[in-house]
Amino acid sequence: MKKAILFSIVALLCVTALCDEAWSQAGSFDGSELTQASFLLRPTDSLYYSSALADGTPVSLTIGAVDQSDSTKTAAIFSDNSGTAVEGYATWDYTASDLPKNDTYTITETVVSSYETKSLSRSVTILPEPAILALLVIAGALFLRKRVKALIAILALVSAFATGAKADVVSGVAFQQMLPFSRDVAITYTVTPAANTIYDVKFYGSTDDGATVFDLQDRGELHLSVANLNETFCSAGTHEAVWTPDESFYSTKVDNFKVKVEATAISSASNYLVIDLSGGTQAASYPVSYLSDVPSGGWSDDYKTTKMVMRLLPAGTYIMGSPAGEVGRKDGETQHKVTLTKPFYAGVFEVTQNQYELVTGSTPSEHQGNARPVERVSYNMLRGTDKGAGWPASNEVDEDSFFGILRAKTGLSFDLPTEAQWEFACRAETTTALNSGKNLTGTNEDANMNEVGRYSYNQNDGKGGYSQHTTVGSYLPNAWGLYDMHGNVYEWCLDWSGEYGGNATDPNGLSNGSNRIQRGGGWKLSAQYCRSSYRSGDRPFANGSNQVGFRVFLVQ
């Protein structure tokens, strides 16, 4: 009985660690005299910059880090001294740099124009992993020796664990008003999530040192950085949000402004994400839930029609492209090492006609079937022709596009995959031409291809009508449980078509082009065009093909 009470208390204290919050230090906020449009300095790991002020005056921009305890430890992070009116994105990862850990650094952006010099700075502390687990092991040993003393020790350590876990989930909260040209407040914070746990992240503010608190989204607009649009996932690392205050702050000037970031664990069973689309176009929102495993009996038809299911894939490094000598190999498949630093969700199935119709109200498909992949969809139909055409400079989408509607009704930033994410998901750690671990023996008809997807030479196998695609999930999945990565329909990717640029980390493809990438091959094609590494593409407005569809991804 005593053991049960003890472990109940331990469990209760551990649960308290699932909700974490962290405040920034108090600082000043000035909304009184800022009239010019911002040229947007964002203290973050992904910096959008413009080398001209609102009046067209050229500027230069430099970013550096200085150790606060030893000024000889410095790092030059970025510079643009071109002096011309250009803009772009600067990215860096100071946590992966040679800067010593367990130190605090001042990160400074310095802008120099012909009129004046302005500097913005923030503090960043690079911390090592905590040793809480070792302490809990010691507590366990104490418990076995002497229960009364162990009770006190375990309660103290669990309390420390809760405090430590809370500090680890969200830490390093800081803000910087984007002076001198904006009321906007840039918020940075560091996240160390528990394994396989998804957090709901909220942002709060206070103008009286925390005495009264308000939700930032209720008092303005919250903009998340391009690299971290989906903050619900709360992936590890340093994140950024920019808060644009509403008009009530236009005359506010205080010296005790504070920002709080709060993370609440909403699921630890996150292997699969499920979107309920059954409400269709009339639904105000699409409920999102999570599963730890495939349901007993497998994926039923509703997961292919009224629900959309996605699998969580790990971050990792792999060899993209095909080796010399692979049967069917084409130009442009040069092998290179790619590292994906963030876990992401990938659709278990290609988006079906019923799912597409529930979101948009119609289906453009030529070969009809509720659980068959939607086809005759263009890149522009999926992302839009205005904001949605901006990748990779921005991953915004048009509100009336497929992804615009899906984002608005779920609150999550679903999108097409990058080409690197698509091939990583397709391969599932294989290095062969097919994700079954097998290679092709012929370029046209191939017995190994017959197993993994619909293509030109297996249309009489009884798994669907002749000379058309077939129901999703009709062939073998890869090791990560993803179906139809080979054949059935081509799948759009975000990237512009072009040559690979060599070894890369989180590559986004070329900055411009004429065709967008398509992957996976289709039901009309021979086996060589359905390989893991085969690359194709088409114009983003093209929607005439009955063998082009897509799959939904979500970067964590």
β-bridge pairing 214-215 and 220-224: unpaired
Task: State pTM to two decimals.
Answer: 0.59
Measured distance CA(137)–CA(152) in Å, rounded: 15
Ranges under pLDDT 50 in the chain: 1-17, 33-48, 51-55, 86, 89, 94-96, 127-167, 225-233, 268-269
Measured distance CA(554)–CA(544) in Å, rounded: 27
Closest to 191 measured CA to CA, from 22, 66, 314: 22
Residue 111 carries which DSSP code? Answer: E
Residue type, 247: E
The predicted structure's pLDDT at residue 6: 37
What are the angstrom distances between the C-alpha of 228 and each of 37, 225, 241, 356, 516? Answer: 24, 5, 9, 26, 23
Q: What is the DSSP string of 367-380?
A: S--TTSBP-S--HH
Q: Under DSSP, is residue 71 helix (H, G, I), strand (E, B) or coil?
A: coil
The predicted structure's pLDDT at residue 158: 37
Measured distance CA(48)–CA(427) in Å, rounded: 33
**Model confidence pLDDT, tens digit, residues 440-466:** 999 999 999 999 999 999 999 999 878
Contact 262, 19 (CB under 8 A): yes
The predicted structure's pLDDT at residue 292: 83
Q: What is the DSSP string of 269-322?
A: --SEEEEE-TTGGG-S---EEEESSPPTTS--THHHHTEEEEEEE--EEEEES-
**Model confidence pLDDT, tens digit, residues 184-241:** 888 888 877 766 566 667 889 999 888 889 988 888 887 654 333 333 445 567 777 7
Contacts 24+ apart (CB under 8 A), 147-153: 147/2, 151/6
Please classify residue 494 by burial: count the beta carbons closer than 10 Å to its beta carbon, then call 0-12 exposed, 13-18 middle and 19+ buried.
Answer: buried
Contact 142, 154 (CB under 8 A): yes
Q: What is the DSSP string of 479-511?
A: TTS---SSSSSEEEEEEEP----SSEES----S
The structural domains of the chain, with segments of one domain joined by +, span 15-129+168-267, 272-555
347-380 b/e (C-beta count within 10 Å ≥ 16 → b): bbbbbbbbbbbbbbeebbbebebebbbbbbbbbb
The predicted structure's pLDDT at residue 142: 39
The predicted structure's pLDDT at residue 78: 66
Say which CATH architecture domain 272-555 belongs to: Alpha-Beta Complex (3.90)
Contact 87, 48 (CB under 8 A): yes
